[in-house]
Homo-oligomer: A and B are copies of this chain.
């Protein structure tokens, strides 16, 4: 199912966690609308995606975080692209993605890895044996981010998960904690989406906040 280049392109696009319409995906992948329709039917039938009909539009998105994690891990294992993007526009877009982006519902790129590293340095994450939130980390989630971590023990989704970043080739934070951090950062406008892409950029207030909360040097992230 994921082996077809067109469907793979769809899924990577859907990794941004948003719902796309059939035509958007068709244009992105460079195929005709009928082709895209057929692929989307198969993705929905196989349970990888879900759809929401709304008027004459059909919005498709990944079925759940587990599916997103699977696609991430496949993307992480695929070799680096053979050719670098050419052209000013493409390379600007690709640079923006490398700097910071969302990966389903958490942060990735240099920004995502930097935040994860800073959380480790500050003792919020414990990476000496596995990838876990320390006691201090649980406090930090509540006081700094206003997140109720007690609710995390219920449910199937892991609280903390490691996700291989395919541009940085290093791990960043995923799971419920990663999603909470990303959501809070977007809500507080510390991080803002660039247009309607997956790419995000750090705002001025965001840079300041991350300096205070995580002693993070944001100079290379802007």
Contact = CB atoms under 8 A, between A and B. Distances in A.
Contacts of A161: 130, 162
Contacts of A186: none
A1 B159 CA distance: 32
Most central of A47, A128, A149, A161 by chain B CB within 10 Å: A128
Nearest to A3: B3
Interface string A121-152: 00000101111110001100000000001001
Given A67-B77, A73-B73, A77-B67, A160 B129 contact: yes
Q: Is the interface of A mostly helix, strand, loop or mixed?
A: mixed
Contacts of A73: 69-70, 73
Q: How large is the interface on A (under 10, 10 to 19, 20 to 34, 35 or more residues)?
A: 20 to 34
A2 interface: yes
A153 interface: yes
A74 interface: yes
Nearest to A67: B77
Contacts of A67: 77
A3 B74 CA distance: 12
A170 to B, nearest CB: 9
A131 B1 CA distance: 30
Given A129-B133, A130-B130, A130-B133, 20 more contacts: A2-B3, A47-B79, A66-B77, A70-B77, A73-B73, A74-B74, A126-B132, A128-B159, A129-B132, A129-B138, A129-B149, A129-B159, A129-B160, A130-B158, A130-B177, A131-B131, A131-B158, A132-B132, A158-B162, A161-B162
